[in-house]
Structure 1
Amino acid sequence: MDLDAYVARARNGPCFICAYLDGHPDYRHEPVYEDDAHVAFLDRWPTLPGKLLVAPKAHIEHAVRDLGETAYTELMLVVRRVALAMEEILRPERTYLLSLGSRQGNAHLHWHIAGLPPGVPYERQQFHALMTENGVLNPTPDENSDMARRLRARLAARRGRT
């Protein structure tokens, strides 16, 4: 991963989620979940196995001010469903949920779902485990496709359960 190119793209390029939703070929991600208002997909540059992003389809930039209570609750229920599916597959020690981004880059509201594998040394957990500066994983397209397929299957099996 070219970190400088990533930062330049995040700060100066189109909204990566809107571009993904519009089908822009440079912003492809492996889809995991979609409904009328939300989307979830595998992170292109994961720092932990199976790292996911969940976002509203509408270009919303602030999790508190820009969402009404119902929309916020619905988004968080999607985050929870996707996180539970990831946990069933990867069995992490801890699941990290973060909303990152700012007006300066990656402005479209999105939640990161990252499962910390068991046995990661403490000094490599938490923020260290999430920062691309500390390295990213390079799953193959087949590995990503398989992970997305497994997540979609778990989400389908979980439908109707809370």
Structure 2
Amino acid sequence: MEDCLFCRIARGEIPSRKVYEDDLLIAFHDINPARPMHLLVVPRRHIVSLQTVTADDEPVLGRMLTVARRLAEENGSPDGFRVIINNGRVGGQEVPHLHAHVVGGPEPVGPMLKRN
């Protein structure tokens, strides 16, 4: 998608604080971090969300998780981290391009969900 924010970042049209890139992915610091370490891991190819993936996407999905682990350790969260992938309106996805938030830091990230 030409006007997709993350596609434009992947093409270098919008600057980002990159921490990783390869043929399948790009990773960069979130511009509005929720934790001391908050990175986004994004496929270069436009994939809307996990709701649209197929078996053909397995290589990029696996790479997202292995890169997330490595980047968390290298960027200040060697004792653990959280990977969050929001999907669709109900899941809170704000940018319609698959991406994983990798969050952590020196302190625990807190409860997974707010309990009702």
Per the normalisation by structure 2, the TM-score is: 0.72
**Which structure has the bigger radius of gyration?**
1
Query: Structure 1: which 5+ runs fail to align?
Result: 1-13, 129-162
The aligned residue for residue 12 of structure 2 is: 23
Structure 2, unpaired ranges of 5+:
none
Residue 118 of structure 1, CA deviation: 2.1
Give the superposition deviation at 1:109: 0.4
Correspondent of 2:95 among 103, 106, 109 = 106
User: Which residue identity is paired with 2:102?
Assistant: I
Q: What is the one-letter code of the residue matched to 2:107?
A: P
CA distance in 2, matches of 1:81, 1:119: 18
Distance 1:58 1:83 in 2: 23
* Alignment check: 8 A CA contact 2:72 2:78 kept: no
CA contact (8 A) 1:96 1:116 kept: no
Structure 1 counterpart of 2:44: 57
The answer to which of 51-60 and 61-70 deviates more is 61-70
Q: What are the Cα deviations for residues 6-45 of structure 1, in whole angstroms up to 9, with x where unaligned?
A: xxxxxxxx42211212333xx4210000000111101111
Q: Point out the structure with the larger helix share.
A: 1
Given that 1:63 and 1:72 are in contact with CA atoms closer than 8 Å, whether structure 2 keeps it comes out as: no
Output the amino acid matched with 1:95: F
| Deviation for aligned residue 1:61 | 1.6
Pick from 8, 17, 26: which aligns with 1:39?
26
Give the Cα separation in 2 of the matches to 1:77 and 1:98.
14
Q: C-alpha distance in 2, partners of 1:70/1:119?
A: 30
Opposite residue 36 of structure 1, the aligned amino acid is D
Distance 1:35 1:52 in 2: 16
**Identity over the aligned pairs, expressed in percent?**
31
User: Does the 8 Å CA contact 1:101/1:108 hold for their aligned counterparts?
Assistant: no
Q: Post-superposition shift, 1:64?
A: 5.9
Aligned residues: 106
Instruction: Tell me the C-alpha RMSD between the 2 structures.
Output: 2.7
Structure 1 partner of 2:60: 71
Structure 1-normalised TM-score? 0.54
